[in-house]
Amino acid sequence: MRGFVVALCGVVLITGCTTDRATVRASPTPTESASATTDPATPSPTVEPTPIPTPAAAPPRPTPRPTSTHAGVQLLPYYFQVRQLFPVLPPVPEIDYDDPDPADGGDAWYRGLNAAGQPTFAVRSDYVMTPNTAFHEVGHAYQDVLEHRLSPLEVRTTYWTFRGFPGTWDTAVQYSYQQVGMTQWLYSPQESWAEAFKVGMLGGGGEKTWDYGRTINPVAIRAFFQSLAPRP
């Protein structure tokens, strides 16, 4: 019996030791515990991916320059009408490419005489031509042609004197340069000439430039311009 008890105790002791070892092995080591603990300072991984930054919008592309004269050719019938009265003008003008986005916000432009002596015109691409605009621009060309045939001083002085304007053409130029915006255009003698030419061709109406209180006579001003023209 005693031997049986001792043996039984031995079994219990061995079993208890085995259980303690199993418990020790199941307990985490300091290293394992530290690795299993989440550091509150470390951000948790997000489920959704980080969004890609939206690229900056590209600047708007400039309006492409047209390679047509669809708007410009509208001026041709008016030019040919003027030339019947002023044959000193070249038979055919040059029409430059239409302008899609003019810096000055204009409708049409006279751009001087080309190498062949032809007046060059350009028109805004979406503009619908009017007699007022067409005759005004051809008026600029007529002045240029006369100044090449005669002399700038003669042409300008004769016009200024005929209109009875104060001062001289040159003093008016200087005064207009001192103005800004449309006021500069208003006092420009070159624009006064073109406006007077327009009125003469229309046979009525008024000029948009400053007339110094000298109301224009459409019939008289047309006869005046015709009197300046030398033979072609």
The proportion of the chain whose per-residue pLDDT surpasses 70, expressed as a percent, equals 71
pLDDT digits (tens, 9 = 90+) for 33-69: 444 444 545 555 555 666 666 666 656 555 566 579 9
pLDDT digits (tens, 9 = 90+) for 201-215: 999 999 999 999 999
113 forms bridges with which residues in the sheet? 119
Distances (CA, A) of 98 to 75, 77, 138: 12, 17, 17
95-113 average pLDDT score = 90
99 forms bridges with which residues in the sheet? 124
Res 66: pLDDT: 58
Residue 1's identity, in one-letter code, is M
Is the pLDDT score of 16 beyond 60? no
Reported pTM: 0.72
CA-to-CA distance for 206 and 138, rounded, in angstroms?
17
Is the pLDDT score of 74 beyond 70? yes
Domain locations along the chain? 72-228
CA-to-CA distance for 221 and 136, rounded, in angstroms?
14
